[in-house]
Structure 1
């Protein structure tokens, strides 16, 4: 419900395009938004029947003031909104992380001897800019690649052609040494043109030009120059070969997809030029919790292309954008030409978007691991776990357990270990369930823990190291089964807890109600990683056993196929399906096989 003060302000809003700013009582900017109709858009936050997301409800509850700017068009409002978000970084806007100064590659075409260098400033001074890149590391890698192919200068000295000697760059073939007059301005300009073509994705033209120059040098008997050009062509062709992608695409396009987790999203952009993947960048968006996929995509497109000196004629997106027409018009005005925006539903383009989405998912997983693996985050997580679970000491060694089976078949258990907050695969252990028949996860868990702690009493290796915390994948029932087994093995003093997947609730002994940590908790995230790792490890072992059992059972019923021939068939064909589909002649030619046996197998399968 809006205060009287806000209600009066809304009544005074014009029904025109513009940008609005929500502020708290202290004047801090909470949110910046654009609108085709300011009055309608702003009042929509405060209507009695409005259904807001939890994030929206929290924001509205904090609004103490509002400000607005009237613009002449929606496109102008979009540009102003972008500038205000970039300047103020409002908490409730979806925003690019560290977007203040993306790095670019710049080629100073106004110089007599242009350099290719890294900059964080976009200026209207006749230079060519390529980017933005997601990080300084990414742009440095690209510059290193260019330097290995094209011999342009990287120094800042004034070029007169009269220096007494060239630097080491010339000696290793990375510069044409204009400083001592070994190259004309025209020849050097050709190298810079090739660099630009390469960065534009037109590598085929560069290769063609270099081959022509190599042939002319050979005809002129300048074999040293021809050899140098040949090496340059080979280096370029290796790069081009590495840019080929499985999906056949044509033309110039950017392909954009993201993966979201809690309050952040990892966006992956593939840059395709001339049908080749010339690069990709990964960006992080913050403030994405409770936002619709279309709004997340819209926010990224706005902020990324506001800083991008190049916009291709086609964008392939994972999700449709909100306010597509306005954004398309804005992109076209920036590009100075037509820009198509597609959300493919089938075919090669859809497959390409799925590939980018999978890369985004992998990037997000790596990002989460890095965030959780920082010493500060690990220390905070272990301290929080100790406090919330009432542990006697910091849980430096945590063991996670899980069971995997299907109705009791191929039943296995897993034990994974996190040491000081990090996985320790050398101490992971698998257990094949031996003493439980049927689907009884509690009994299976008891068996695994009894076997684990029985080994501890007789071992001197990693088995002998006692955990500071045992974490069970499951709820109260699984925890009670674990506690019973540990008491029987004389290790009841080892702290234990369970983590249930559905609501991420933690259960500990002698406490009726579960412990619920916030989803942003470092302690909870560490325990989730441990629980998920135990699940992954158990499931992988279970699937291998099932595959082996199904393979074996299908072959065991065939007369004449004993253990030796079965192993040979497994090695050669890999699956029952592959054996069933193999030609009779190929089957008969396998090790230890004969035409008669091959025919017998075909009949049985």
Structure 2
């Protein structure tokens, strides 16, 4: 652990102005981002006696190895820069709200030629209008089913839409008038888009005007003695009213607001949000977080507002935001919300009336969410801390292993040998840093040799990157390369961060191979252990007897989770490679024949059987196929027809060509 005094800025270096600061660890990784009205006062508070700091703050400043800052003009600029850096660097010590469940939303894909109404989860996409979130997906489907009678917009997938367009017949919804059937040209793209816009307006809360217009049309139809049309309009009005009744009416019709409530203890906090649109509760959302440093309720509210509205703009930000306490200061947050909406946003604490009563309901939900979260073992900060401490004590480590990497080997009877590497930080899976390896240097059932190769490749990359001073430069294609990387200013790099503990799936032989690989590279500051499946024994290098952890140990439970995750990740990769190898056809064995020419051959002849019966001259007629290639193809297929049928080693079945 670093001594904060070793990197403390000199007196007078820190400016007395607004800004944003970053703490980095010894590997130049950003571990904390903060903002301050006065950088000098804020940073000075970190460099007091460590024993007087909050435990999480003390851990952060002793993990850090340097601090840097950027001066900005106003507090609003500091807020914006802090948010962008938190999104970019994903610092481990910043407040991170985690949804206590995945909430579905009703989405209308206005970015498509024919907008589609559907249930959607995950990050929001540009050009898609969202309503919700809802507590359950079935609630969305019930609402949409009622509204389709009046707004028959498309709800089918792209595949169903294309199939219906190809055959010229709509699906069942088109026949029962719950879809306007744009796939068959029953309505034009402009008419269908107008329907989708009306659907969105109704879901956004502009219901009264539309209902009154329908009622007027119903009365006009009755006066003109068009009773069938009047009856349909009457049924449409009833369907819309039933859809509205599914959302509780709690406030005045014109009220658009989000209500925030918090429940907290010394270690964690839960946030609940009710989304009120048109006076009705349209959605509910909940988050939980570990408390970082000595954060106040006002600080938690500010972080929640940043996370919720950081990606939102326009109508997604309501006219009114109600919170239990105001951020300190409140003006920058209010100005930031106003900027994102494009018009004035009222940020305040409700004092009386219906809004105060609804805030009490939101508060009760937050308390229940925190109590439920406490029962979830894997997400409990206290439990995770105890697990890491137990592992450190059992393995005689100097400190708790905040970063654990686990490796597993997978193959099928010695074929398609692969390996996986999973990463856990602070006891939680860090899936963005998972890696997978192909073992190409040999084939066969030699897990020990494969483990030695994988550990060598992983730490060879680490040593190579540690020697670099500039940004990562790609030298040669490497299967170890991840999907994302970080540069030396704190963004994730390939293998730049070493773990405190390496766990291998296996016993003495695998542990010895891993330790030997690290010794050959001069890595002596990373601990190694193995977890054997049979008796869940923990093996250490050079030890004849395993370490036995109690079955009720939180440390053993964490090691099992890490090992099982590595096994799952390896099996998934190995099965994917196996399915690819099973799909290989006879043309794949022809040397020098690429995908383009294979497709050209199959398109010309229609099947491998006809191609096999063709002469060299006939094969030469295919564009792009010369005589030499034609002779190679003919010879390969002739030999293939006399060969033993290919067998799927996974199932024992003959693979047809």
- TM-score, normalised by the number of residues in structure 2: 0.50
Query: Residues 78-134 of structure 1, C-alpha deviation per residue, up to 9 Å, x if partnerless?
Result: 1221122223332321112269x997655444555322343755566xx35325748
Query: Residues 315-369 of structure 1, C-alpha deviation per residue, up to 9 Å, x if partnerless?
Result: 1111221221111111111111111111123333322211111122223334445
Query: Residues 146-195 of structure 1, C-alpha deviation per residue, up to 9 Å, x if partnerless?
Result: 24313210233369989621102223443122233434556534432332
User: Who is 1:129 aligned against?
Assistant: 129
User: Who is 2:262 aligned against?
Assistant: 258
SS in 2 for 1:235: helix
**Deviation of 1:296 (Å):** 1.0
Within a 5 Å distance, the mapping from 1:22-61 to structure 2 comes to 22-47=23-48, 52-61=53-62
User: Who is 1:355 aligned against?
Assistant: 361
**Deviation of 1:37 (Å):** 2.8
CA contact (8 A) 1:95 1:300 kept: no
In 1, distance between residues paired with 2:67 and 2:342?
35
Name the CA shift for 1:203/1:263 in 2 (closer, same or farther; >3 Å): farther
Name the CA shift for 1:355/1:183 in 2 (closer, same or farther; >3 Å): same
Instruction: Give 1:211's match in structure 2, choosing from 209, 215, 238.
Output: 215
**Deviation of 1:301 (Å):** 0.6
CA contact (8 A) 1:253 1:312 kept: yes
SS in 2 for 1:7: coil
User: Who is 2:307 aligned against?
Assistant: 303
CA contact (8 A) 1:75 1:329 kept: yes
**Deviation of 1:6 (Å):** 1.9
Name the CA shift for 1:3/1:94 in 2 (closer, same or farther; >3 Å): closer
**Deviation of 1:45 (Å):** 1.6
User: Who is 2:245 aligned against?
Assistant: 241
Within a 5 Å distance, the mapping from 1:307-322 to structure 2 comes to 307-309=311-313, 310-322=316-328
CA contact (8 A) 1:249 1:349 kept: no
In 1, distance between residues paired with 2:164 and 2:331?
53
CA contact (8 A) 2:131 2:282 kept: no
Query: Residues 205-249 of structure 1, C-alpha deviation per residue, up to 9 Å, x if partnerless?
Result: 332233344445556666665544433322321232343345668
Root-mean-square deviation (CA, aligned residues, Å) is 4.3
Name the CA shift for 1:3/1:92 in 2 (closer, same or farther; >3 Å): closer
CA contact (8 A) 2:32 2:92 kept: yes
User: Who is 1:167 aligned against?
Assistant: 171
In 1, distance between residues paired with 2:176 and 2:242?
20
User: Who is 1:572 aligned against?
Assistant: none
In 2, distance between residues paired with 1:299 and 1:370?
23
SS in 2 for 1:244: coil
**Deviation of 1:42 (Å):** 1.3
Does residue 346 of structure 2 align to residue 340 of structure 1? yes
Name the CA shift for 1:107/1:198 in 2 (closer, same or farther; >3 Å): same
Instruction: Give 1:195's match in structure 2, choosing from 181, 193, 199.
Output: 199
Name the CA shift for 1:319/1:45 in 2 (closer, same or farther; >3 Å): same
Structure 1 unaligned residues grouped into runs of 5+? 385-516, 524-605
SS in 2 for 1:113: coil
User: Who is 2:395 aligned against?
Assistant: none
Paired residues, number: 382
In 1, distance between residues paired with 2:279 and 2:133?
21
In 1, distance between residues paired with 2:200 and 2:179?
17
Within a 5 Å distance, the mapping from 1:511-526 to structure 2 comes to none
SS in 1 for 2:321: strand
User: Who is 2:146 aligned against?
Assistant: 148
In 2, distance between residues paired with 1:141 and 1:82?
33
**Deviation of 1:69 (Å):** 2.8
SS in 1 for 2:334: helix
In 1, distance between residues paired with 2:231 and 2:165?
25
In 2, distance between residues paired with 1:42 and 1:102?
38
Name the CA shift for 1:356/1:187 in 2 (closer, same or farther; >3 Å): same
**Deviation of 1:265 (Å):** 2.7
In 2, distance between residues paired with 1:68 and 1:103?
39
CA contact (8 A) 2:131 2:204 kept: no
